[in-house]
Amino acid sequence: MRNTDRVVLITGATGVLGRETARVFAEDGARLGLAGTDGDRLHGVARHLGLSDDRWVAAVGDVRQRDGARSAVESVTAAFEHVDVLIHLVGGYTAGTPIAELDPADIAGMLDQHLWTTLHLAQAVIPGMVERGWGRVLAVSPPVASEPPAKMAPYAIGKAAQEVLLRTLAREVGGTGVTANLVIVKAIDEGGVRATDPKKASWTAPSEIAATFRFLASDESAAVNGARIPLYNRG
C-alpha cells in the first residue's frame, strides 16, 4: 500500500493537517509538491520534515484564482513531470450569522475558498491523470455540508458545492483509473484534546486523516470512488 515515488500535491501544506499528510507520504517515499501562498513557510515545512531538494518542490500560488492554481501545478510538473495525487486541504470558515442578516460576500468568500479552488486544481490535474490512466483526488469536508446547522450557511454552502463537484467528478472519471473521494470529519483534533475532553470524542486526529489519505491514494483503493468516508463515529 506504499505510495513510493508517487507525485503528491498537497494544498494547505503549512497547516497542521497538511504537515502531517506531507510527513506520511514522505515516509512512503513520495515526491511532494507543497502548495501555499508563502514560499518561506513551505520551505520551513520541508526543513522540518528533512526533505531533500530532489524530493519536494514549493508550489506557490493563490489557488482561488485559476492562474494561481495552474501556476502551482506547473511548479510541480516542471520538477516531477506530472501529478499523481491531489490532496486538497485549503481551509476557511465563516459562520455565526442568520440567513436573514447574511452578507452575500460571506457566501462568495466560502465559494472562492472551497468550490473554486477545487475546480481550478481539478481542471489543472485531471486531464494528465486520465491520460496516464491513474490518479487520486482527495479532500476533507464536514458533516454540515449534508446536515447544515443554523447560522452556518456560508460554510455549509461552500463545502456542499465542493462535495457536489468532486462526487460529480468521480462519476465522470469512472473507469479511467482516476478516483475522487472525500474524508468527512467534524473537527480536526490539532491539539490532542480529544483524550481529555469527552465532548470532543468525535474529533479526528490529523494522523487518522493522513492514514486514510494514504489508503485512498494507493492502488488498493481503486474500487473506492465518489465516497464520503466518515471519520467521526468512534467505536
Span 28-53, pLDDT tens digits: 999 999 999 999 999 999 999 999 99
Give 28's DSSP letter: T
Dist. CA 196–CA 205, nearest whole Å: 13
Domain 7-230 has CATH 3.40.50.720: yes
183, pLDDT greater than 80 = yes
pLDDT (tens digit, 9 = 90+) per residue, 124-163?
A: 999 999 999 999 999 999 999 999 999 999 999 999 999 9
pLDDT of residue 1: 59
Q: What is the 3-state secondary structure (H, E, C) of 151-212?
A: CCHHHHHHHHHHHHHHHHHHHHCCCCCEEEEEEECCCECCCCHHHCCHHHCCCECHHHHHHH
Bridge partners of residue 31, in order along the sequence: 7
pTM: 0.97
- C-alpha 134/C-alpha 169 separation (Å) is 14
pLDDT, averaged across the chain:
96
- Give the Cα separation of 106 and 93 in Å (integer): 10
Q: How many residues does the chain have?
A: 235
How many C-beta atoms surround the C-beta of residue 232 within 10 A?
Answer: 15
Nearest Cα residue to 14 out of 54, 50, 42, 52: 42
Q: Is 86 helix (H, G, I), strand (E, B) or coil?
A: strand
Domain ranges of the chain: 7-230
Q: Where are the alpha helices (DSSP H) in the chain?
A: 16-27, 39-49, 66-80, 104-110, 117-132, 153-172, 206-216
Q: What is the pLDDT of residue 83?
A: 98
Return the bridge partners of 141, or none: 184
- Strand 31-36 and strand 178-184: the pairing is unpaired
Cell 462526487 identifies what position? 167
